[in-house]
């Protein structure tokens, strides 16, 4: 990694001690002023992790959820910038918590406050995309009815624990949870059938889950951001639980929690806790903003946790063996895909041969062919360069070692903005180098499907204007690509230069 050479000049020697003292004083004063006005204390860290806050990307369409569960079709839902959405879309929850209701005395200072901050309102907006509710006291949770009774509450709150709060389509697959005061009068709060000293954490795997990009950006990373401060003393209660989904990611949950994950909608217990959190916290696409995270947690911590979860050995893309060792060759992974799914490489064999001729140890892997998350994670982690088409398995970059290179092949159709929000920007936070290869007209199968004067080929923006469905069907589902080997070679050579393998150290 980069080390900074300090370029401080040597102080000139003056015989005059007083003058030296004066200089020292002003130096101290100056650095104090600097520290005070620089926005982030540690600028070196800020450089590596800074990613521009992405434009609010709001997911829209049913198409994606229909695909949910069939594997690796990622990011296809992240689309269509919609600033307007913020104001335009009325909330469907009547008792929707908001930051504006901020000052709130409904929570008494918590007795057994286990890292739950009782000075905040019960439910508040943790980002433009997420609400989180926190309560402490005598917490009794009834999963069957999505109800949480808390003795310290004075009014009812409702929330849907999924980080797409303005996406009505996604939320239609997410159950609403209520936090209620203890019933007054005769109807006492239900009796505890199980007691825990952990914090209860309710999340939902409804929404767009099943699509790996959404699994990470909507659920796993936000859950990690929230759960981190509990250091394992947190129990995941999962609403809209899907066992096939949980089996994919159970190792991750086992890293975040010492307790069993509960399919909470189907649970017959009355579960009692000293505190509860409902809804994870979103920061940005596939990322963490340490300045917003209560415990200063970062995406590097998330990746470290993934390495423990899946037994990944490489934290950095450091070559193994000395410079004469055959294993020192950098490994390049081409993400393969069935052509019927769209966004497949039509010439992956030729791409592999070309990469091999440059000195890469080439692998071709199709994440669809394995349901074993850790197996594919280990393959990705063993690689130094990963090449794939936008939204066709690129979320696997979470497993790449730091210093590796991600090459995103952007399909034809002016999709650069989509490529940027979903994978280009997050790569910086993951300390993964990023290269882009934009598919031209003579490299797309679309030019075989449409006459050369067709709008699809001549004016992609006109198709974008027809909306997300048209864009997705045309450019994402029905397009395969055949990158020009000569041009792609230049990108691969660039990737090679970014790696430490060629250097002598
Ligand atoms: C749970 O704790 C409460 C309060 O300490 C106690 O009255 C109750 O019997 C416990 N229930 C179970 C099932 O352990």
Annotate 374-392 with DSSP letters as a single string.
HHHHHHHHT-SEEEEETTB
Cα of 399 vs centre of ligand 1, distance in Å, is 43
Residue holding tokens 């639980």? 241
* 379 in Cβ contact with 365 (< 8 Å): yes
Rg of the chain on CA atoms, in Å? 26
Distance CA 277, CA 114 (A): 11
pLDDT of residue 115: 54
Cα of 78 vs centre of ligand 1, distance in Å, is 46
Distance CA 171, CA 160 (A): 7
Report residue 34 as tokens. Answer: 């600097």
What is the pTM (predicted TM-score) of this model? Answer: 0.78
Distance CA 149, CA 329 (A): 59
pLDDT of residue 19: 52
Of the candidate CATH numbers 3.30.420, 3.30.1300, 3.40.50, 3.30.1360, the domain formed by 326-502 belongs to 3.40.50
pLDDT of residue 26: 53
pLDDT of residue 188: 82
Cα three-residue angle 69-174-207, rounded to 5 degrees:
35
Q: Ligand 1, residue 272: give the atom nearest the CA.
A: 1
pLDDT of residue 116: 63
pLDDT of residue 407: 98
Length of the chain: 505
> Domain limits of the chain?
57-310, 326-502
Cα of 192 vs centre of ligand 1, distance in Å, is 6
Of 197, 272, 273, 274, the one to substitute when testing ligand 1's pocket (max ligand atoms within 8 A of C-beta) is: 272
Residues of the chain with pLDDT under 50: 1-15, 17, 25, 27-72, 75-114, 505
Going by CA atoms, what residue is nearest to atom 2 of ligand 1?
Answer: 195
* 118 in Cβ contact with 179 (< 8 Å): no
Going by CA atoms, what residue is nearest to atom 6 of ligand 1?
Answer: 192
Cα of 269 vs centre of ligand 1, distance in Å, is 13
**Protein residues with CB under 6 Å of any ligand 1 atom:** 192-195, 272
pLDDT of residue 132: 94
pLDDT of residue 214: 95
Q: Ligand 1, residue 192: give the atom nearest the CA.
A: 11
Q: What is the DSSP letter of 91?
A: -
The SS3 of residue 80 is strand
Nearest to 238 by CA among 96, 351, 141, 94: 141
Report residue 224 as tokens. Answer: 């990690």
The half-sphere exposure of 282 on its side-chain side, counting CA atoms within 13 A, is 26
Q: Over 436-448, what HEC string results?
A: EEECCHHHECHHH
pLDDT of residue 423: 96
pLDDT of residue 14: 43
* 285 in Cβ contact with 421 (< 8 Å): yes
Helix 373-381 / helix 243-256 crossing angle, nearest 10 deg:
60
């Amino acid at each position: 990694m980069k080390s900074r050479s300090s370029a401080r000049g040597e102080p000139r020697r003056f015989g005059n001690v007083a003058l030296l003292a004066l200089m020292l004083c002003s130096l101290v004063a100056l650095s104090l002023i600097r520290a005070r006005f620089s926005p982030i204390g540690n600028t070196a860290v800020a450089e590596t992790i800074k990613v521009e806050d992405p434009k609010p990307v709001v997911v829209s369409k049913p198409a994606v959820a229909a695909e949910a569960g069939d594997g690796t079709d990622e990011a296809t839902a992240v689309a269509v910038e919609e600033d307007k959405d913020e104001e335009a879309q009325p909330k469907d929850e009547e008792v929707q918590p908001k930051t504006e209701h901020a000052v709130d005395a409904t929570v008494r200072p918590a007795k057994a406050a286990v890292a739950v901050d009782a000075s905040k309102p019960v439910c508040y907006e943790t980002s433009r995309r997420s609400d989180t509710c926190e309560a402490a006291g005598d917490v009794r949770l009834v999963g069957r009815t999505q109800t949480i009774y808390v003795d310290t509450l004075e009014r009812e709150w409702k929330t849907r624990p999924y980080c797409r709060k303005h996406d009505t389509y996604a939320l239609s697959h997410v159950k609403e949870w209520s936090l209620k005061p203890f019933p007054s009068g005769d109807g006492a709060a239900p009796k505890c059938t199980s007691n825990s000293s952990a914090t209860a954490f309710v999340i939902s795997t409804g929404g767009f889950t099943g699509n790996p990009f959404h699994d990470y950006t909507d659920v796993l990373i936000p859950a990690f951001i929230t759960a981190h401060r509990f250091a394992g003393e947190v129990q995941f209660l999962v609403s809209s639980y899907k066992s096939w989904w949980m089996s994919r990611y159970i190792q991750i949950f086992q890293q975040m929690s010492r307790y069993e994950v509960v399919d909470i909608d189907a649970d017959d217990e009355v579960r009692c806790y000293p505190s509860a959190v409902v809804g994870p916290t979103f920061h940005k696409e596939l990322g963490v903003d340490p300045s917003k995270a209560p415990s200063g947690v970062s995406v590097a911590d998330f990746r470290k946790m993934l390495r423990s979860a899946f037994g990944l050995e490489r934290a950095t893309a450091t070559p193994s063996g000395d410079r004469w060792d055959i294993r020192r060759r950098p490994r390049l992974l081409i993400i393969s895909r069935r052509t019927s799914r769209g966004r497949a490489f039509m010439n992956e064999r030729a791409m592999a041969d070309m990469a091999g001729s440059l000195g890469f140890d080439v692998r071709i892997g199709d994440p669809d062919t394995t349901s074993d998350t850790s197996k594919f994670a280990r393959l990705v982690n063993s690689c130094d360069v990963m090449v794939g088409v936008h939204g066709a398995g690129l979320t696997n970059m979470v497993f790449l070692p730091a210093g590796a290179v991600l090459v995103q092949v952007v399909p034809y159709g002016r999709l650069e903005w989509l490529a940027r929000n979903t994978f280009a920007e997050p790569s910086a936070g993951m300390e993964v180098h990023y290269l882009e290869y934009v598919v031209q007209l003579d490299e797309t199968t679309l030019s075989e499907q449409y006459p050369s004067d067709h709008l699809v080929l001549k004016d992609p923006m006109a198709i974008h204007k027809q909306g997300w469905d048209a864009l997705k069907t045309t450019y994402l589902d029905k397009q395969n690509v055949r990158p020009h080997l000569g041009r792609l070679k230049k990108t691969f050579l660039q990737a090679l230069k970014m790696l430490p393998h060629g250097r002598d150290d």
